[in-house]
Amino acid sequence: MQDVTAETLGTIGTVIAVHLNYPSRCAQRGRTPEHPSYFLKPASSLALSGATVERPAGTELLAFEGEVAVVLGERVHRVTPEQGWAAVSHVTAANDWGLYDMRAADKGSNVRNKGGAGYTALGPALIPAAEIDPAGLRVRTWVNGTIAQDDTTETLLFGFGRLIADLSQWLTLEAGDVILTGTPAGSSVAQPGDRVEVEVSSLDGIRSTGRLLSIVTEGDVEANPAYGSTPTVTDEQRIEAYGSEAAWRSDEARRAGDTASAATRQTPAPTTGTAPVLSPELRGKLEAVATATLSSQLRKRGLNNVTIDGLRCTRDDAKVVGIARTLRYVPNREDLFTEHGGGYNAQKRIVDDLHEGDVLVMEARGEKGAGTLGDILALRAQVAGAGAIITDGGVRDAAVVAGLTMPTFYATAHPAVLGRKHVPWDTDVAVACGGTTVVPGDIIVADADGILVIPPALAEELVEECLQQEHEETFIYAQVEAGHPVDGLFPLNAAWRATYEAWAAEHPREL
């Protein structure tokens, strides 16, 4: 195999990029095209492995897209798909960078948002097309060593030959032209200092491009409004750039935590706007109160269906307080499992993306006929610092999972793999688990009495009233223990409340 060099880049003519082509990306975007569509990228955007890619000053949404690039070896015009693939000389890895801040200004052309220097990285090696099966390639992307994208060309909507046949109906493609064939799910926003790598390989691993490295830098020259459009960002653009609102919020909170305190992390629920930070102080207070007390205070606010019911726990002494991340399984259908169940599927992606204190909540529809989690992924979640895993389905390798320090709440043990009953479908969406709804960003509190789902906007107020309630109940317990009847004492009538307040003056709350 030969390397992609500066001389190689100098021989490249037109660069054509495909919009949507992977089913996983279509599912993420919520649309599946009937036919391929394209945009052009300037040759000045080409870059080698190891090059920097600048996020311009005043922008925030520079996103990576790992792709397979095909290189034409001969001129083609009005060819069939078979002839189109025969005209390909090599494939290589590509990173099709895009600046979402300029998408609105470009109005679909992608000229500025996709045309910057370094925005089309190629390499590091070229794989001869004659040595590979175009439907047997794997494309992976890593951000700072953590996998972000992993998919194969087995289920592409539009195969490489068809793309060439379609384009050649209207254009004459020349030797040296490059087609970027689309990106799978997992594309997201990179930050200055990030190292993003893309690799294309055969499914057997024998052929590989090696890892194509791009290093993100921060620009220091802002756009001049006197010359034209300037960057604009909306929440909708942020969601598209990150792939989901939860991913955007999670990254926003992570970066805020890096700046302030690694212990302070915020993942707001999409339906409640800005949620309070689950600070060490709030976490400590929630850990100090019983779920029974929290449940009674939630009930006073009209929230009755906020418990995840019917599950057992691997740790009888567990006390869990954390932020909900979610995974949804749908009933198994063999064709859908082929598309969504293999490789770096939704289950594996979210486990790899768990952070300190996250609580992964799985919707398995109460199906007990297969596992939804096994020992390897449970261990990965524990190593990542997750607070707990909750599933209303089965757990495999139950003895090993029970031996971990991280608690797992589950419906039953079952030896079968998830493919018997489930397809891992999507992540960080509202899910149904154990009879209630869990939204990403909800606060999960669990102990021996059960599992509660707390709307984050209520948490601060709620825990204060819980602490007050438990302070009163400490007094009441002592009075009952001393022989007093509960009538008028539980709850406190006026006379007993006056007695309590005198006692409280000498016994202040600890939190």
**Range from 190-194, 205-209, 247-251, 293-297 carrying the lowest mean pLDDT:** 247-251
Name 116's Cβ contacts closer than 8 Å, sequence gap at least 6.
45, 53, 54, 56, 97, 99
Between the two ends of the chain, the Cα-to-Cα distance in Å is: 66
Provide the token pair at 429: 């969406």
Average pLDDT value for residue range 152-169: 97
Domain ranges of the chain: 2-240, 270-458, 461-506
Q: What is residue 448's predicted lDDT score, i.e. its pLDDT?
A: 87
Does the pLDDT of residue 267 top 70, yes or no? no
Which pLDDT band, with edges at 50, 70 and 90, does 257 fall under? low
What does the longest C-alpha to C-alpha distance in the chain come to?
97
CATH no. for 270-458: 3.50.30.40
Which pLDDT band, with edges at 50, 70 and 90, does 252 fall under? confident
Is residue 379 within 8 A of residue 354, CB to CB? The reply is no
Mean pLDDT of the chain: 91
Provide the token pair at 109: 């052309």
- The length of the chain in residues reads 511
Average pLDDT value for residue range 332-350: 87
Name 14's Cβ contacts closer than 8 Å, sequence gap at least 6.
40, 173, 174, 177, 178
pLDDT tens string 405-431 = 999 999 999 999 999 999 999 888 899
Thinking of the domain 2-240, which architecture would CATH place it in? Alpha-Beta Complex (3.90)
Task: Please state whether the predicted TM-score (pTM) of the whole model is above 0.75.
Answer: no
Does the pLDDT of residue 176 top 80, yes or no? yes
Average pLDDT value for residue range 27-51: 94
pLDDT tens string 5-37 = 999 999 999 999 999 999 999 988 888 999 999
Provide the token pair at 219: 């620009």
Q: Under the phi-then-psi rule, with left for phi > 0, alpha for psi from -120 to 50, and beta for the rest, what region is 43?
A: alpha
Work out the percent of the chain whose per-residue pLDDT is above 90. 74
Which pLDDT band, with edges at 50, 70 and 90, does 277 fall under? low
